[in-house]
Amino acid sequence: MLIIVLAAGNGAKFFPYDATVSKTLRKAADIPLLLWNVRALRSLTDAPIRVMVRSQDAGAVRTVLDGCGETQVCPVETSGTAESMLLGMGEDEYEEYLVLYGDTVVDPGDLHALLEQPSPTALVYPLRESARNHIACALADGVLGRVGAHDRGGAMTHFFAGFRLGGGFRSALERTPSYFPQVKVGVSVPCEPYLEAALSGCGPIRALEGKGWCFDVDKPWHLMEANAFLVSLRCGALRENMLSPGSRIDSTAQVDGYVSLGRGSVLGKNVRVYGSLVVGEDTVIDNGAVFMGNCVIGNRCTVRNYCQIYDGCAIGDDCVVDHCVELLGGILMDKVYLSHYGEFYGCIGSYSDLGAGTVCGTLRFDDRETPQQVNGRREPGEHPFFSATYLGDYVRTGVHAIFMPGAKVGSGSIIGPGVIVEHDVPHGVRLSVRQALEQDSWGPERYGW
């Protein structure tokens, strides 16, 4: 068997995290999405893995997957998943293939069940949002029924998470058109050969309904959703304190759950933990930092000085969370600086620096759900993380910048002091306030002298 992981997409719906690195390298609970599945697979099988990536991402993916056994990273320039899989199959004649998406994190128990199935089998999960957002399918007596893309109505019920396919699937891939044919009238489609479009060319396909969890990370709020669950999963697995060499818990710290500390990490004076923590190496948590639930923290971080971090947060490597910062929920990617007196709920990209007093809104005055747009299209339905704020990589804010619920800011952008951000901001933009000032004289005569 050969395992093929499809990770060569451009993440076009993942703004503002689409400009720098592959979506599959973004972290949920401080572990890259791609690595969740590869680690699970390595615990189940020694079969070789080929990861299909864009050329620009190959080096970073190799670094992340170093030490994952017989795992080959294959740079490709393709127009779709069908072409990526064909290139992954190469000239080798394997009898069986396991195919996964690089941005979909799957319960290891369901991966094991898929490995045990005969081919052809599709691993599917019930849709949690509108079928208009997915390439999806209907089931009929344990096999795939109709496959449809961005389908109107309620006929489509499940989304795809992986496949076990035989060597004969190659011919179906070779016949895949450069568009998706299974759509309703009036729906336009991109010129792209999709793996799912080839499924109709290989006879009946068994449907394996997943019994565990699965997250298809297509848009930024999906990453928030996956992160909240996986933080709970990692912290919930702790059954006792786990202290690596050189780590310690100060006698004044209070921990209501359990703590896992990597080498050299410290839980310092007057820290309060009302949950459980998973902490990497050489991280210092000190001087009254408060955790209001479970949290995962990476390597070489500083979290201190009465900051307050709420349940389900994940903090990447080399971050600083300092004086009286409130992190209400979400993700800090690597090397994020939150200096003091800030309040944030959402996701902050790597190498971002938020000025003092930067805050974000989480609720609208009219109590309505926050709308979101992706590539100019209003998202159908609702999502619990629509109201979060999403800042791309290399973003800077001035003092007292304010973000309204649901705002997204592109990578490399600067939000000046006192700016109120109500709408999405593109990559590489500077926003500043233009003040109208009035000046007149003032002196003792104003007081009757």
Q: Judge if 240 and 214 occupy the same domain.
A: no
Residues 274, 254 contacting (CB under 8 angstroms):
no
Q: Which of 104, 211, 213, 206 is nearest to 164 (CA)?
A: 206
Give the mean model confidence (pLDDT) for residues 206-233.
97
Q: Judge if 397 and 297 occupy the same domain.
A: yes
Q: Judge if 214 and 235 occupy the same domain.
A: no
Q: Judge if 52 and 192 occupy the same domain.
A: yes
Among 175, 193, 218, where does a domain finish? 218
- Is there a domain that residue 437 lies in? no
- Is there a domain that residue 224 lies in? no
**In whole angstroms, how far apart are CA 23 and each of 133, 210, 217, 349, 407?**
18, 24, 8, 12, 20
Helix (H, G, I), strand (E, B) or coil at 79: coil
What percent of the chain is predicted at pLDDT more than 90? 88
- Is there a domain that residue 262 lies in? yes
pLDDT tens, residue by residue, 273-315: 999 999 999 999 999 999 999 999 999 999 999 999 999 999 9
pLDDT in the model for residue 369: 85
State the number of CA atoms in the 13 A half-sphere of 264 facing the CB: 8
Q: Which residue has the higher pLDDT, 181 or 397?
A: 397
Q: Which of 191, 223, 169 is nearest to 332 (CA)?
A: 223
Partners of 359 in beta bridges: 343, 402
Q: Judge if 181 and 292 occupy the same domain.
A: no
pLDDT in the model for residue 364: 85
**In whole angstroms, how far apart are CA 423 and each of 161, 309, 358, 394, 414?**
33, 26, 16, 19, 14
Is 90 exceeded by the pLDDT of residue 405? yes
Is 90 exceeded by the pLDDT of residue 406? yes
Q: Judge if 201 and 273 occupy the same domain.
A: no
What are the two backbone dihedrals, phi and then psi, of residue 47, each rounded to the nearest 5 degrees? -60, 145
The enclosing H or E element of 39 equals helix 33-44
Q: Which residue is it, tokens 């992160």?
A: 227
Q: Judge if 210 and 240 occupy the same domain.
A: no
State the number of CA atoms in the 13 A half-sphere of 107 facing the CB: 14
pLDDT in the model for residue 63: 96
Give the mean model confidence (pLDDT) for residues 223-234.
98
Is 90 exceeded by the pLDDT of residue 380? no
- Print burial letters for 144-169: b (CB count within 10 Å at least 16), e (below 16): bbebbbbbeeeebebbbbbbbbeeeb
- Is there a domain that residue 422 lies in? yes
pLDDT in the model for residue 295: 98
Q: Mean pLDDT over all residues of the chain?
A: 95
pLDDT in the model for residue 93: 84
CATH assignment at residue 292: 2.160.10.10
Instruction: Assign 194 a pLDDT band (cuts: 50, 70, 90).
Output: very high
pLDDT in the model for residue 391: 98
Domain count, the chain: 2
The enclosing H or E element of 235 equals helix 220-236
Among 198, 218, 238, where does a domain finish? 218
Print the domain residue range for 34. Answer: 2-218
- Is there a domain that residue 446 lies in? no
pTM, entire model: 0.95
Q: Judge if 26 and 172 occupy the same domain.
A: yes
pLDDT in the model for residue 197: 92
Q: Judge if 270 and 373 occupy the same domain.
A: yes
pLDDT in the model for residue 182: 85
pLDDT in the model for residue 417: 96
Q: Judge if 354 and 234 occupy the same domain.
A: yes
Query: Which pair of tokens denotes residue 56?
Result: 């620009």
Among 197, 218, 239, where does a domain finish? 218
Give the highest mean pLDDT range of 77-91, 189-203, 291-305, 371-385.
291-305
pLDDT in the model for residue 202: 78
Is 90 exceeded by the pLDDT of residue 160? yes
Is 80 exceeded by the pLDDT of residue 201? no
Q: Judge if 214 and 289 occupy the same domain.
A: no
CATH assignment at residue 21: 3.90.550.10
Q: Judge if 54 and 179 occupy the same domain.
A: yes
Is 90 exceeded by the pLDDT of residue 441? yes
- Is there a domain that residue 444 lies in? no
- Is there a domain that residue 223 lies in? no
Give the mean model confidence (pLDDT) for residues 354-370.
90
Is 80 exceeded by the pLDDT of residue 138? yes
- Is there a domain that residue 74 lies in? yes
